[in-house]
A and B are shown apart, each in its own frame.
Chain A
Amino acid sequence: MSVTTYNVIGTRPIRHDGADKVTGRALYGADLQLARMVHGAVLRSPHAHARILRLDTTKAAAHPGVFAVVTAADFPAAPTDKIVDFGEGDTLLSSLRGNILASGKVLYSGHAIAAVAAVNAHVAAEAVALIEVDYEPLPCVLTAPAAMAPGAPLLHEGLDNGNVAETIRHEIGDVAAGFAAATVIVERELDTATVHQGYIEPQNATAFWSSDGRVHIWCSTQGSFVARDASAAVLDIPVSQVKVTPMEIGGGFGGKINVYLEPVAALLSKKAGRPVKMVMSRRDVFTGTGPTPGSRVRVKIGVDAAGKITAAQAWLAYEAGAYPGAMVGPGAMTVFACYNIENVLIEGFDVVVNKPSTAAYRAPGAPNSALATETVLDEIAEKLGVDPLELRLRNAAKEGTRRADGPRYKRIGCVEVIEAMRASAHYNAPLPGPSCGRGVAIGYWFNIGLPSSATLSVNADGTVNLIEGSTDIGGSRTSLSMQAAEVLGIRAEDVHPTIVDTDSVGYTGVTGGSRTTFATGLAVYEAAQDVVTQMKARAAKLWATEEVEFANGTFSSGSNNLSFAQLAAQLGATGGPVVGSAAVNPRGAGGSVAGLIIDLKVDPETGKTEVLRVTSVQDAGKAIHPAYVEGQMQGGTAQGIGWALNEEYFMDASGEMRNGSYLDYRMPTALDLPMIETIIVEVPNPGHPFGVRGVGEANIVPPLPAVANALYRAIGRRLHSVPMNPASILNL
């Protein structure tokens, strides 16, 4: 456990953007107003799978008030087999473009086909309705098992194996021998439905293609540089010709990494000669952006009489949606990631179906696979008569445990998380009565590094300005400022963070992969160290010495002492401004383990599930701002509970989503959940100077299986499909 004493790290200062957010001063993309700006709208396919026989935009273009109409034909020519590498994943340019504006075929209901820019949004919508499209409807396929079946309708020509875009296989040890040594073997197959990240703010983008060829894009994005690079690739122009200004962001959870509107707004602006603003409706968000994959996962686990897992096998089929990239890779890597197992076989399949092209969602792929593993382990614990946490503890992964995909773990906190769960007041409290059940589960997420840049400039009043490029979704302005303040020996409030456009800071990867407080935090730490080095040189000049020490915000040499603020006031006389900067591309991202304890009560007459008590436990490495860590844990837990109990894309047989509003797509609200208790475990990450591990994702992994296990104990039977809603409970 962490024992280092800090002055700022671990405290809970008020967030730097708090006043702007609560007073409405913070500017989101939809708030943006530019001179001569016009408004865009998108035509979307009503068919899940159809060939476009004719696309005629003549009437729309002639409609009064219309400035421009674009289709896929307006994309500049570029090699379709080009791979666009965004540093945190790659995609074929043809897939990227094809998803932004369909060409030849539509692959899901909601697939964008054309766009219009007009004097206002209403005229744009009128013009969209005037676009004529003749379709040849084709049979659609909506689930991975159906898409893998012989004779299934094919979405793409050229995939190696029908609708299977990629096959993954990890194997260590001898699975057959491992199962032969088992005394208890359980095998189950579990399905999850397509769900959406459910961010409050819809996607939006405003673009201005100026007469000098430069494109300026304002948008809601998790990564301004990724939005820049993707837009430049789609438009086939150099990245230096595109500037992205990230607006405030109302949630993303992985869903705002891809681009949808940005290149379209740019193309419209190029034609219109004016800035073009586009804002999605909620239905557009559901049907035209990237949900997380539905899946089928089959898991088989064998244990010996002592409760030691002897073998584990998994088969995973994830729905990619219209284009390859179903997150089955991380699903396969995490399916047994919490456990030390010598004999493992994992097979995964990335399967295209006629649904929106999927995107990341908090620990993408991991909740789907953990649902199967953690419910199978729960059954095994019951068969063995062993406490479910004790069974997990006996098999927990530790430093040195080899994962099925090859590498061994550095220091991780799996044991510590399980022990914290077992020692918690919640786990040791009795259940309140009949029809109640308690479930537990754990989960793992890797977290990532990627490049980040930061600049710190010292003000004469002893404060510093922090310039960085990580869009702030969960309080990162403050968690980054606190790391600078810790190094500089000043207050967090004395660091003034600003998130700037892509022309104004070095390359910075997405706010995703639980990386920002780790990687951008490391850049800030290094920039602060640069400031310290430069200011020590200034103090040395003042005192005519070569030996200057710096500790707790004070520079000293012999009997000379100056606080950070006192020395900052003398920078002008000692050589001018001090600006520290750093750019990093770190290794050493520390993976995080999370656990959940949940108590549920089921009404036997209606099947309604009431959430009684929830405790989320997670290894944060070191919690920079504990309140924000708790917020991440509570947020991921709430989303996972919604995923488990209610949320799903309800698709009809034709592939149309029938619940594309928040009235019908049932996400949990504050009225549905009790206060989510949190226990922060701190097993420092040796890859970060303060021990930081990312905390944004692992917390969504355990809720699905924990809910499933709790429901079993409440109703006495197991469900094998998510969502586990009242209808599925009553139909058992």
Chain B
Amino acid sequence: MATVFIPTVVRPRLGGLAQLEASGRTVGELLIDLEARYPGLSQFLLRPSLAISVDDEVTPLGVLEPVRPDSEVHFIAAISGG
């Protein structure tokens, strides 16, 4: 099962949980799995201001990014630059 790290500001909605195990072949499938257990969670994770990091790399594919059973998924601030 992949590990989905919950952004600190979202944790109060999950009773303080910092990370969740989820199954799926892509980030999107992980979120579907989590949504079944935590309805409404996805709306706090899939925000335009957040980028998706899989195994320490921000992915341009977003929810389509493939994941492995031992993958780490983070939702981090989207970085632009000057």
What is the interface of chain A, defined by CB distance below 8 A to chain B? 83, 85, 88-90, 166-171, 197, 253-255, 257, 329-330, 332-333, 360-364, 405-410, 445-451, 510, 512-515, 585-589, 694, 696-697
- A330-B77, A333-B77, A364-B80 known; A83 vs B56 contact (CB < 8 Å): no
Q: Are A254 and B60 in contact (CB under 8 A)?
A: no
Decide if the interface of chain B is mainly helix, strand, loop or mixed. Answer: loop
Residue pair B58, A449 in contact (C-beta under 8 Å): yes
Q: In this complex, which of B7, B56, B79 has the most chain A Cβ atoms within 10 angstroms of its Cβ?
A: B79
Residue-wise, chain B 7-26 has the 8 Å CB interface mask toward A (1 for contact) of 11100000000000000000
CB <8 Å contact, A409 and B80: no
**Closest chain B residue to A408 by CB distance?**
B56
**Interface membership of B49, Cβ < 8 A:** yes
* Docked-complex contact B56 and A170, CB < 8 angstroms: no
Contacting A at CB under 8 A, from B40-82, are: 48-49, 53, 56-60, 72, 74, 76-82
Partner of A362, one of B53, B74, B82: B82
**Chain A hits for B8, CB < 8 A:** 169-171
- CB pair B74–A405 under 8 Å, yes or no, is yes
Query: Does the CB pair A168–B81 fall under 8 Å?
Result: no
**Smallest beta-carbon distance A403→chain B, Å:** 9
Task: Quote the shortest CB–CB distance from B10 to chain A (angstroms).
Answer: 10
Q: What are 12 A-B interface contacts by the 8 Å CB criterion?
A: A89-B78, A90-B48, A168-B77, A169-B9, A257-B80, A329-B49, A363-B81, A405-B76, A406-B74, A406-B76, A513-B81, A587-B59
In the bound assembly, the distance between CA atoms of A441 and B60 in angstroms comes to: 33
Q: Which of A88, A197, A253 has the most CB of B within 10 A?
A: A88
Q: Do the beta carbons of B77 and A445 come within 8 Å of each other?
A: no
Cβ contacts under 8 Å, B56 to chain A: 407-410
A363 contact from B59, B78, B82, Cβ within 8 A = B82
Known pairs A405-B77, A407-B57; list 14 more (Cβ under 8 Å): A88-B80, A89-B80, A169-B9, A329-B77, A333-B77, A360-B81, A407-B56, A408-B56, A445-B81, A448-B58, A448-B79, A448-B81, A512-B82, A588-B57
Number of A-B contacts (CB under 8 A): 101
The residues of A that contact B58 with a CB separation of less than 8 Å are 407, 448-449, 587, 589
Let me know if A254 and B81 touch, CB within 8 A. Answer: yes
Chain B residues whose CB sits within 8 angstroms of the CB of A513 once the complex forms? 79-82
Known: A83-B48, A90-B49. A410 touches B57 (CB 8 A): yes
What number of B residues sit within 8 Å (CB to CB) of A?
21
Taking CB atoms, residues of chain A closer than 8 Å to B59 are 587
CA distance A333 to B53 in the complex (A): 14
Complex Cα distance A169/B18, Å? Answer: 12
Q: Counting chain B CB atoms within 10 Å of each CB, which of A329, A586, A694 scores highest?
A: A329
Smallest CB-CB separation from A587: which chain B residue? B57
The docked-state distance in angstroms from the alpha carbon of A89 to that of B59 is 15
**Contact A406 B53, beta carbon cutoff 8 Å:** yes
Q: Is the CB of A330 within 8 A of B57?
A: no
Measured in the bound complex, the distance between the Cα atoms of B7 and A514 in whole Å is: 26
Contact assessment for B60 and A449 in the assembled complex, using a CB-CB cutoff below 8 Å? yes
Instruction: Using CB atoms, name the residue of chain B closest to A85.
Output: B48
Query: CA separation between A585 and B60, bound complex, in Å?
Result: 7
Chain B residues positioned under 8 Å from A361 (CB to CB): 82
CA distance A589 to B80 in the complex (A): 12
CA distance A342 to B70 in the complex (A): 22
Closest 6 CB pairs of A and B: A254-B82, A513-B81, A329-B77, A406-B74, A90-B48, A360-B82
Question: In the bound complex, how far is the Cα of B58 from the Cα of A589, in angstroms?
Answer: 9
Question: What are the residues of chain A within 8 A of B81 when measuring CB–CB?
Answer: 88, 254, 360, 363-364, 445-448, 512-515, 694, 696-697
Q: Which residues of A contact B80 (CB under 8 A)?
A: 88-89, 257, 360, 364, 448, 510, 512-513
Contact of A586 among B60, B76, B78 (CB under 8 A): B60
Chain A residues within an 8 Å CB radius of B74: 405-407
Q: Which residues of B contact A408 (CB under 8 A)?
A: 56
Q: Report how far A167 CA is from B76 CA in the complex, Å.
A: 13
User: How long is the Cα–Cα vector from A524 to B59 in the complex, in angstroms?
Assistant: 21
